[in-house]
Every structure is written in structure tokens, then in C-alpha cells.
Amino acid sequence: MILYIIAFVLLIAPYSIRLLSKKLELYPAVILPDGSSTARYNDTHIIYSKIEIVGIDAKTGAAKAINTDLFFDPIPSNRIYGFVNNSFGIDAVRRDTLRFRKDLLSPIYTYKKYSEVQSQDLIAWYKSKLVAQGFEDSEFTFQEEIITIDRLTSEIVDSSLSRIENYTLND
């Protein structure tokens, strides 16, 4: 009996909550991943998403990928979509959207204003993270690339940027 209660608490209850909306998923997740951390595949191809944050190297001025683990530390870098969906907190208004699975109900929008102090602290935190890795502290870019690999030859057959968003860090 205790085993059933434990299974319900650890697996069935979180899964039931997650069925309503992905945003309601408990962290850390006990259930198997779904979404950005999974790859789609068929008989001939594997398709996955590659995410990068790109900054401007302070010495050379060239665009270069930022180490996301160091950039988000101590926050796990797999939480990047939460940052992207809220414009990395740089905008004064945070937009939270709660959408129920399969559009059972219309989306619910809530708007929360960040305080000026919160926004400035966050921008200062991003700047310090960029400088610590040797990048200019004025801007960075989020980009998502969709990569298709042939299953027989293991070669990349298609690669395209699906999303690019620039973020300017103003004082």
C-alpha cells in the first residue's frame, strides 16, 4: 500500500499536473523529459534543436558562443526557455502565459511589472557574467538552430536558424 502512495506522489500527481500545462511542471522533474530536451526522429532523419547564446568577444570583436552553464550559474542552463519567454527580464513587463494542453481552454495571460531595482540588478548580473567570460557587456543574442541528421550516414543534411533574438543591456 505504501508503495502505491509513493508512486502516486512521485509520478502520477506530477504527471497529472503537467497534463494541464507544461508551465505547471514541478522542478526538479521526476517524469521523463519532453520538449526542448528531446529529439524528433523518423525512419530516415533525426531532428533536434541546438540553442546558443552569442556574445561579442571583448578582445577580437567577433561573435562567439557563450558558455551557458557559466552564464546562468547557479541556475541550471536547461531553464533557458523561461528566460527567453520573459525577454531575459530586461523588459519592464514580464509576460507569463498559461496555456492548457491541446487548447482545451483559451490562454490565460498575467502581466507582472518588474521593479526598477529588480531590472537593474538583473542587467548588472548579466553584464558581470559576460565580462567574466571575456565578452563585451553591452549585448548578447539568443539563437536556436534546427539541425537534421541523416540516420544512415550520420551527416547533417539541413541546418537552419529558427529563432534569433537580440538583447541590449542598457543601464
Q: Which three cell numbers stand for residue 145?
A: 538552430
Cα–Cα distance for residue pair 84/139, rounded to 1 Å: 14
pLDDT tens by residue, the chain, 171 residues: 788 787 777 777 777 777 776 666 666 665 555 555 567 888 899 998 888 999 999 999 999 999 999 998 888 877 787 788 777 877 665 555 555 555 555 555 555 566 677 778 888 999 999 999 999 999 999 999 999 999 889 899 999 998 898 998 876
Separation of CA 64 from chain center: 19
Whether the model clears a pTM of 0.85, i.e. scores above it, the answer is no
